[in-house]
Amino acid sequence: MTSLVACPELDMADAPAFDPEREVCVARAPGRLDLMGGNVDYTGGMVLQGLVAEGVLVTAQMRRDNAVVLHNPGAAEYAWLTGAEFDFSDIDSADALRRRCQSDPRLHWTAYIVGGLHFLRRKGFGFGQRGIQILVESNLPPNKGVSSSAALALASLKAVSAAWGACLNGRELAEAGQWVENEIVRSACGIMDHAAIVFGQQDELIPLLCQPLSVGTGIPLPAGMRLWGIDSMVPRATSSVAYNRARAAAFMAYKILCDQDCLKVVLDTTGSLPRYSDSRWNGYLSNLEPADFVAKYESSLPWALSGKSFLGQCAPHVDPFTSITPHLIYPVRGAARYAIYEHQRVQSFAELLAMDPPRTSAQAEQQLLALGDLMAKSHHAYRETGLASTDCDEIVSMVQQAGPERGLYGAKMTGGGGGGTVVILGTPQGEASVVRIAKEYGDRHGVTPYLFMGSSPGTDAAEQMFASTFRQVL
């Protein structure tokens, strides 16, 4: 059973340029809900991720000419162009792709698709100069911090690779999606989003150790727990100045500590993306033990350091995907603290969830309270990295005020921080309170927050969903 199907009967009325007599390939990728660990994937930390019900559906069909034609009818909702056409002279040149996709903000969404085409041809997946037709359908809203960009890249890679006769799956698919975002889109993201979307299962949490990627056994969400997401309506992206400053600050801290201990930092190009490494921590700041960090290293890191000072004292910068701006001030110690302590918090969170089910209601209550406390500490830690959001703080405060008596136990900002979605942990009876909080927050700000209230299978698991129906009804 597969979501990548030959189907002459497929109704392509919403995309007239498709040929109803020829084979199509279909793939779906959901968004991810970052429960714990956002922003430590690039420092080698552990993350714990779930999936949302909303997703991106991509349909691909080979053409008889050499044109690459993209359709995205839903783009009109965001004032983006709903279609674009490329040729293979564009696809074969990374620089040409970047120039074309960056030439008009209304075309930015195309980079996640044609970047995947470039990757596939670069790796030898393409069939000569045959063109391809691609249709994008989505009910996953962008800029909410739930990885809509990763979902678009992954669904496109899977559908197109299948149409070209060599379907990507698993780690290869996740790494390809991360490559597209880093190398073509120029978004300095880690592997967390892509791995969660590829390997995740419905109503499960998946632990991922990002060194560079070790996929743990999924943890079914206990029957007495629920997760929701409330969009703060503050857009966020991994291309923002705040995100890039926080990421760069973590690598600045890493370089300062390596210099302090005379550890040689070398460029490693053996993986899917280049990175820097050393003989003790293997290039991952999250590998520092908290006790060692406090005893030996924390006091040597400044809370704030200008880019100019760092470049003058500690160059080179050891992150291939961010740069140091001389006039910016970087939260070096806060970024290091987050990388080290969040890794520990995620491990503790996963261990609590993996324990034997509570035997009494009092034990279940204690478990939920402990999980909520870890979420509160994680949310607070965003402030030290410069990624706080007063709007997200407001939603978290409203959840805390509702409290366990209303079925709500924890809340935190998700993903890269600085806005986006707040994830909420509670019991089934907490759903009414979540809806009420979203409405009150929306009324106060004159907006209508999006509510994430369900789950769906990851990209690889979703293949089985298309066994009896050729299209996913979003």
CATH number for the domain spanning 124: value is 3.30.230.10
The answer to the question of residue 210 being in a domain is: yes
The answer to the question of residue 157 being in a domain is: yes
The answer to the question of residue 134 being in a domain is: yes
Residue 471 has pLDDT above 80, yes or no: no
Question: Are 137 and 167 part of one and the same domain?
Answer: yes
Last residue of a domain, one of 278, 313, 336: 336
Q: Which amino acid is at 89?
A: S
Contact 473, 139 (CB under 8 A): no
Question: Are 216 and 262 part of one and the same domain?
Answer: no
For 276-294, the pLDDT digits (tens) are 999 999 999 999 999 999 9
Q: Which domain holds residue 274?
A: 242-336
Last residue of a domain, one of 336, 361, 396: 336
Question: Are 46 and 166 part of one and the same domain?
Answer: yes
Locate tokens 């991720």: which residue?
A: 49
Question: Are 120 and 29 part of one and the same domain?
Answer: yes
- Give the chain's domain count: 2
Question: Are 252 and 214 part of one and the same domain?
Answer: no
Q: How confident is the model at residue 362 (pLDDT cuts 50, 70, 90)?
A: very high
Locate tokens 């969400």: which residue?
A: 221
The answer to the question of residue 473 being in a domain is: no
Last residue of a domain, one of 336, 360, 391: 336
Question: Are 311 and 460 part of one and the same domain?
Answer: no
Strand partners of residue 30: 55
The answer to the question of residue 88 being in a domain is: yes
Question: For the chain, what percent of residues have pLDDT higher than 90?
Answer: 83
DSSP 59: E
Question: Are 49 and 161 part of one and the same domain?
Answer: yes
The answer to the question of residue 40 being in a domain is: yes
Mean pLDDT of the region 127-147: 90
Q: How confident is the model at residue 64 (pLDDT cuts 50, 70, 90)?
A: confident
The answer to the question of residue 4 being in a domain is: no
Question: Are 105 and 141 part of one and the same domain?
Answer: yes
Question: Are 262 and 200 part of one and the same domain?
Answer: no
The answer to the question of residue 200 being in a domain is: yes
For every residue of 248-270, DSSP letters joined together read HHHHHHHHHHHHHTT---EEE-S
Question: Are 212 and 145 part of one and the same domain?
Answer: yes
Instruction: Determine the pLDDT at residue 473.
Output: 34
Question: Are 190 and 308 part of one and the same domain?
Answer: no
Residue 2 has pLDDT above 70, yes or no: no
For 139-186, the pLDDT digits (tens) are 999 999 999 999 999 999 999 999 988 899 999 999 999 999 999 999
For every residue of 190-235, DSSP letters joined together read -SHHHHHHHH--TTEEEEEETTTTEE---EEPPTT-EEEEEE-S--
Q: How confident is the model at residue 114 (pLDDT cuts 50, 70, 90)?
A: very high
State how far the Cα of 32 lies from the Cα of 328, in Å rounded to an integer. 31
**Cβ contacts of residue 243 below 8 Å, gap of 6+?**
188, 236, 237, 387, 416, 417, 418
Note the pTM of the prediction, 2 decimals. 0.93
Instruction: Determine the pLDDT at residue 463.
Output: 64
Question: Are 187 and 48 part of one and the same domain?
Answer: yes
Strand duo 226-231 + 421-426: pairing: antiparallel
